[in-house]
Amino acid sequence: MQSHTNSNHPYNVYSNLLKQNFQATVPNEVWMADITYIPTDEGWLYLLSAIDLYTRKIVGWYIDIRMTKELVIKTLQRALNSEKPTGRVIHHSDRGSQYASNDYQRLLQEHHFQVSMSRRGNCYDNACIESFHSLIKKEFI
């Protein structure tokens, strides 16, 4: 599977805390996030979804015509407004520049997230959210 993630950037990259152990014991313990491309007649749309690993609920999402850090920031803000987690949440994503950006990492720190990132080029490290996106594409595209 080809990766569209730009992991060649000057930002910090974090360790993979999950190591493909996709189990959680309570809601808001682990959130997984990913961006997918959706073709339309007018061009690409970019959908970012965040899923709670325990409940499998989409806790936040946002769609835009550009794949920028604002896409991930708006998704996280929606998820925080929806779920209002009280404990420390592991936030797992790929190593893309949007997730690694200083602004996004600052927002994660402000809300006491523990950051986890997939290994370079390994889509299986984020399989739960990748699977969700494949269902959307199969159903509507």
65-69: long-range pairs with CB below 8 Å, 24+: 67/35, 67/98, 68/98, 69/97, 69/98, 69/101, 69/103, 69/104
Per-residue pLDDT of the chain (141 residues; tens, 9 = 90+): 334 555 565 667 888 888 888 889 999 999 999 999 888 888 999 999 999 999 999 999 999 999 989 999 999 999 999 999 988 999 999 988 899 999 999 999 999 999 999 877 666 667 677 777 777 777 655
Burial class of residue 64 (count of CB atoms within 10 Å of its CB; 0-12, 13-18, 19+): middle
Report if pTM > 0.85. no
Output the pLDDT for position 129. 75
